[in-house]
Amino acid sequence: MKLYRFLSADDTSEFCHKVTEALNAGWDLHGDPTYAFDAANGVMRCGQAVIKEVEGTYSPDLKLGAQ
């Protein structure tokens, strides 16, 4: 089955570490990263989609981050 996650965080090293952790857990980048200004909080936000092929059958109860 193919899994999809969208990672997001403020534009800090925390976001880079989140994506790096996913890559090292076997996830692959999917598409380009996104950036947007969060006017309510006055910060830039980053996002990156990642995908991964795993064995099994999809269920909405699946914890994607644990895969």
The answer to the question of residue 65 being in a domain is no
The answer to the question of residue 67 being in a domain is no
% of the chain beyond a pLDDT of 90: 82
Whether residue 15 is predicted with pLDDT greater than 90 in this model: the reply is yes
- Binned at pLDDT 50, 70 and 90, residue 17 comes out as very high
47 forms bridges with which residues in the sheet? 8, 34
The answer to the question of residue 63 being in a domain is no
Please give the structure tokens belonging to residue 40. 């309510």
> Are 27 and 65 within 8 A, CB to CB?
no
> Are 11 and 35 within 8 A, CB to CB?
yes
> Into how many domains does the chain fold?
1
- Determine the pLDDT at residue 41: 94
> Are 52 and 26 within 8 A, CB to CB?
yes
* Averaged pLDDT for residues 39-49: 96
- Note the pTM of the prediction, 2 decimals: 0.86
